[in-house]
Homo-oligomer: A and B are copies of this chain.
Amino acid sequence: MSKNIFFERKGPFSIKNLFNNKNLKDLKITDVKTLDKAGSSEITFFDSVKYKDIAETTKAGCCITTKKLENYLPQNCLKILTKSVLFELAVITRKFYPNADIDYPDKSLKKPKKSNFNKVKFGNNVLIGKNVKLGKNTIIGSNTIIEQNVSIGANCVIGSSVIIKNSIIGDKVVIQDGCKVGLKGFGFIPLKEKNLRFPHIGKVILKDNVELGAACTIDRGSVDDTIIGQNTFLDNQVHMAHNVKLGKNCMIAGQVGFAGSSTLGDNVSIGGQAGISGHLRIGNNVKIGGGSGVVKDIEDNTVVMGYPAVPLKEFLKKGNSNE
């Protein structure tokens, strides 16, 4: 049973109490996880047929889902049926994690004690939370804030006025000035007068050699994590929403936007200002032209362009040759 190092977790709760239903079996639930990561004492959710392959092999003890989808789940997984999976999930996740719905500023921030961070160089006015780990030869620029429990590897260069929270960062990572990494994403159940915020209990993982340009915003995962693969470089003002997974050796130009929960392969290049919709699968070696709007899955080795993005040949056929 892994621990969430960034958010205090309540529980365990019996499934009867969680759903306030005495007819449910007496199962003790310790955490909320994704379909692929949940174990027998954990609850998960399944809300789209897109994820049926993972659903079929989940080891989760309990799953919030719909009447239509329940049959994809293993027999021994307790199904909680509802019409609004995400609403139920939000309610349950808030019981386990009552403080992950808003980014409450870290009260443990202090000037770093040099003695705690051997071989780390700090600019002026740096603020560090409790239990932060910084690898050797890492440099932290002025006015930068690194909140509690964040871990940053060796030989990293973190710029000035950067804010990092709820993140695990590898070696030789470069983060340019003004980036915000690990913040709560844009997830909530829209309700008149008072939206219900979805707790963001995931984190951001930046692998070795990642580079983030200036003023990027990389939101942490909601239940899952947001991950950027090794040696992937982002230009300035890129926005990456919760749960996005980006492979190795990718090149993402300025002002690109990623909606939530898309997964991209390795060696993907994306031109400036392109937008990637949510919940998509983009293959390896895909090239996406600048300004494109990607709204469906893309297979490996494809070049796409346009709004909505289509394979390049099709884009040119539509009279967009611009000659």
Contact = CB atoms under 8 A, between A and B. Distances in A.
Contacts of A241: 235-236, 254
Interface in A113-135: 121, 123-125, 127
Nearest to A323: B296
A121 to B, nearest CB: 8
Nearest to A144: B105
Contacts of A272: 239, 257, 259, 275, 277
Interface string A125-166: 101000000000001111101000000000001011101000
A177 B144 CA distance: 12
A214 interface: yes
A243 interface: no
Interface residues of A, number: 77
Contacts of A188: 233
Interface string A178-201: 101001101010101111000000
A174 to B, nearest CB: 6
Interface stretch (A14-22, A28-36, A88-96, A287-295): A287-295
A163 B178 contact: yes
Nearest to A183: B214
Given A188-B233, A237-B237, A257-B273, 6 more contacts: A106-B123, A161-B163, A186-B254, A194-B209, A215-B215, A253-B259
